[in-house]
Amino acid sequence: MEVDVRRVIVRKDYPGRKGLVVYRMSRDQRVDDNWALLFAQQLADVKNEGLAVVFTLVPHYPNANRRHFDFMIRGLKQVEKHLAAKNIPFFLLMDEQPMSAFADFIREYDVSAVVSDFDPLRHKQAWNKMIDTIDAIAHYEVDAHNIVPCHFVSRKVEFGAYTLRPKIKRLLPDFLTEFPELHPQTVQMKAHPIDWVGIKTMLSHSENVEPVNWLQSGEEAAKTVLDQFIATKLSHYDEQRNHPEADGQSHLSPYLHFGQIAAQRVALEIIRNAPPGGQEAFLEELIVRRELADNFCYYNPLYDQTGGFPEWAKKDMELHRNDVRLYLYTREELENGETHDPLWNAAQRELTVRGKMHGYLRMYWAKKLLEWTASPEEALQHAIYLNDKYSLDGRDPNGYAGIAWSIGGVHDRAWFPRPVFGKIRYMSLSGCFAKFDVDQYIREHSK
């Protein structure tokens, strides 16, 4: 079974060139169920050349810290082990200028073709453009993250889930297929041993946000968490998904962010093994909402700025810019969870301690920042800073789209106007009390 060419963007072709094929792993940090790796192997087989996997580690990656590096490195150690079982060498390059180190690798190993992960974020797209400038190599970009490839399902920014959903559903039967097997490589090629202890020491300079210990990292752990979710939580997901105190979430978002499990594998297992109830709601979030976030970041270059908000929201923002705010908090007060709202403080503590926040509460959390800061720009900056710093699934299209929905009405509609918010959808503490056991949640995440 060949990789569907609709998953592949041919950034630069160079037919007939002989030499090593490299999969430049970035967003999708796994060996199983990886369309980009499978395409790279397919290309190597056609060329009758060797295949290697390269990961470029950036010590000062934007907004990353010890928490993120710890989770990622633990997963990459499994990648090295699983690739070795297939006789595929794994190289880890460490450089502040990742494409400089990668260009040196290309020259040293006489690389003929590079396969890169698709990623809609601007700095990842800029890195891919740098690879395009390297002479005498082919370069392909493969969307192994979305079930229906982002660049194929739509060629423009979608207004909301209601416009993207029918496009995805029409194409889903074509793309929601079983993965072929990655076969062992016969070409003999060894990578340099990776000093994982030394790498961890080198990264100890990064901002001191403690790693999480309640969640294991890597492909194996991701599959275990998926199995447990299907067995114990999925049948109640629809009724519990908006109950932060119930622990009804899948906890798959960190694994999906780091690409340690494919969303396509999750969907296949949910459909095959799920008990009645919960399946439809979960698949809506896994497929439509996740892929809507990629669409937003890929086609809207201002995805992390107020300029990326819809026009109606930007006009409203100006109308209410000078409205009186009853509370104004500094970033330090927000980061320490020192507001008058015990629910918000508990949500912030969950984020800082556990590296995750329930999706329903993340909407409430972000909207309160709009209410408690001097401007929408400041609210957006604080939300992105805190989410990217503490959340394992921060620095991600889902985070940027979710924050833009909460603060700027992205993928939403205009509601009844009110002070400060204008027509942006409002969420209140009293509304939360009506939906779930707020007191229990606060007790669970108290200092």
Report the C-alpha gap between 327 and 322 in whole angstroms.
14
Q: Which residues pair with 116 in a beta bridge?
A: 24, 141
Asked if domains 5-145 and 162-179+217-299 share a fold, the reply is no
Return the pLDDT at 98.
84
**What fold characterizes domain 162-179+217-299?**
1.25.40
pLDDT at residue 353 tops 80: yes
Q: For 92-141, how does the pLDDT look when each residue is reduced to its tens digit (9 = 90+)?
A: 999 888 889 999 999 999 999 999 999 999 999 999 999 999 999 999 99
Instruction: Domain 5-145: give its CATH superfamily.
Output: HUPs (3.40.50.620)
> Does 278 score more than 80 pLDDT?
no
Quick one: pLDDT band at residue 205, thresholds 50, 70, 90? low
Q: Using the predicted structure, report yes or no on whether residue 204 has a pLDDT greater than 80.
A: no
Task: Answer whether residue 229 shows pLDDT above 80.
Answer: yes
- pLDDT category, 277, cuts 50, 70, 90? low
Neighbours of 192 (CB within 10 A): 9
Predicted confidence band at 276 (pLDDT cuts at 50, 70, 90)?
low
pLDDT at 236: 86
Which of these ranges, 44-58, 264-278, 433-447, has the smallest mean pLDDT?
264-278
Does the pLDDT of residue 447 top 80, yes or no?
no
Q: Where are the domains of the chain?
A: 5-145, 162-179+217-299, 306-445
Exposed e or buried b per residue across 131-156, where buried means at least 16 C-beta atoms within 10 angstroms of its C-beta: beebeebbbbbbbbbbbbbbbbbbee
Give me the long-range contacts of 162-170 (CB less than 8 A, separation at least 24).
164/288, 164/291, 164/292, 164/295, 165/288, 168/287, 168/288, 168/291
Residue 117 bridge partners (DSSP): 142
Q: Which CATH number describes the domain made up of 306-445?
A: 1.10.579.10
- Compute CA 59 distance to the chain's CA centroid, rounded to the nearest angstrom: 19
Which is it for strands 111-117 and 90-94: parallel, antiparallel or unpaired?
A: unpaired
Reported pTM: 0.96
**Where would I find the H helices in 258-320?**
263-273, 279-283, 290-299, 311-319
Residue 232 has pLDDT above 70, yes or no: yes
Quick count: other Cβ atoms within 10 Å of Cβ 23?
A: 31
Contact predicate 302/401, CB 8 Å: no
